[in-house]
Amino acid sequence: MAAQRNLKFADISMTEAEYLALELTADVKHEYVDGHVYAMTGASNNHTRLTANVLGEFRNHLKGKPCEAFMTDTKIKVGKNYFYPDVVVDCSAPAGGDYFAQSPVIIVEVLSKTTQKSDLTTKLMQYINLPTLKEYVLIEQEMVRVQVLRKNNHWQSAFYFLGDEIVFEAIDLTLSVEDIYGRVDNNEMVEFRLAKGNVVFE
C-alpha cells in the first residue's frame, strides 16, 4: 500500500481514461483495480518511518546512477490497473516520465491491517507479472520482519529479522534490518534498544 496511506474501498467504478483524468486533479490519491477506484487515506507514523528509511537508503545509494527511488505519489501500471507502492525503484531513462514508474525493478510495500491481504494476494500476483521487476519487498510495522520475494528465486519468500542483513540484488545494496527499522516504535524495537542500553531513537 502506498506510503502515508491506507486503502479504503470507494464504491466507484469508471473507465481507465476517467481514472487517469481524475488523478490529475484529485485531492486524494486513488488506486484503480479492475475498473474500481480505491481511495487512499492516512497511515501510521511507523508506516511513514519505515517508508522514509527505505527511501532514504535507496536514494543515497542510487545518487549519480541510472536508477531512481520514488515513494507515495508515483504510480505503476500493471495491465489496466494502477497502484501507488510505498517505495519503487525505477530504471527507465528518463525515469518514469511525469507520473509513472515505467521500469520498476524493486517494489516495497509496508504492511498494515487494512492492506496486508491485498499486498500479499492481489498486488503480489499483479506485481510479479511486471517484466522488469526483480524484487518485491514486504515490511511489517507491528513486528520486525521483512519478506523479500525475488524473481531469480522463482518468487519464493525469504524472511529477515533483527541481526540480519538484506541484499537488494537489483541495485547491489546491502541494508541491515536494524537500519530499516530506525526510529520505529513497536514492542520488538523498544526491547531491542533497551537491551543495547540505548534509550535514544536511532
What structural domains does the chain harbor? 44-195 (3.90.1570.10)
pLDDT band of residue 3 (cuts 50, 70, 90) is very low
Across the range 151-168, mean pLDDT stands at: 97
pLDDT at res. 201? 56
pLDDT at res. 7? 42
pLDDT band of residue 139 (cuts 50, 70, 90) is very high
pTM higher than 0.85 for the full model? yes
pLDDT score of 97 more than 90: no
pLDDT band of residue 92 (cuts 50, 70, 90) is confident
> pLDDT of 171-200, one tens digit each?
999 999 999 999 999 999 999 999 888 665
Across the range 124-133, mean pLDDT stands at: 94
Interatomic CA distance for residues 159 and 155, integer angstroms: 13
What is the chain's mean pLDDT, rounded? 88
pLDDT band of residue 120 (cuts 50, 70, 90) is confident
